[in-house]
Amino acid sequence: MKQVEPIRNLEKIAEMRDLLLDAAKTREAVLLVLGVNAGLRISDLLALRWKDLRAESFRVKERKTGKGRRVVINESMRAAIDLIEDNQPGDDFVFASESNRSKGTPWTREYAWRILKEYAEKAGIRTAFGTHTLRKTFGFALYQAGHPVEYIQKLLNHSSPAITLRYIGIEQETLDSMCMELNLG
């Protein structure tokens, strides 16, 4: 299986979102925005219920690790949520298709991957793309914004900063480039 990468050109996120919205894939656009702003795994994103998104923050118990995490809803997330919020019952899944709403089941990981990959390609994202790209992009964007890797590590529930750096795609050539640009004295 090919390792997925973060979206390094952050302008491509807005382009991808706009393409989804133009195609009337509003809920899919919301998944993208929540994914890159919350840094949750796809299984945790798809399990979100309306009651989770109605406050300023919510708690998630990660399915993979069992660890808890608080997620704050920022302005981008709120604007996206407002596109689809329509007095839905609190226990309903946010990402349930029309046919699955009555069954109480969320979208599948495969559906999320298929639609996001299609629109990533339309937006010109050429790196290896998967649903995990959203989570990696979250970490990469925080790192690019200058946030300490130890804080990103904590948000992603990683065991070490080295794992976090590798996870978000900070490779030796990036480190070499940083050193080459320094030129002190």
80 neighbors 34 (Cβ within 8 angstroms) = yes
Kindly give the confidence (pLDDT) of every residue in the chain, 185 residues in length, as a single tens digit, with 9 standing for 90 and above. 568 999 999 999 999 999 999 999 999 999 999 999 999 999 999 999 999 999 999 999 999 888 889 999 999 999 999 999 777 778 899 998 766 555 678 999 999 999 999 999 999 999 899 999 999 999 999 999 999 999 999 999 999 999 999 999 887 667 778 888 888 88
CA dihedral sign, ordered 152, 108, 29, 2: positive
Catalogue the active-site residues.
41, 64, 132, 135, 158, 167
Instruction: Say if residue 156 is exposed, middle or buried (CB neighbours under 10 Å; 0-12, 13-18, 19+).
Output: buried
Q: What is the pTM of this model?
A: 0.88
71 — phi, psi (to 5°)?
-115, 125
Which of the 8 DSSP states describes residue 110?
Answer: H
Yes or no: domain 11-182 corresponds to CATH 1.10.443.10? yes
Both tokens of 147, joined, read 């946030």
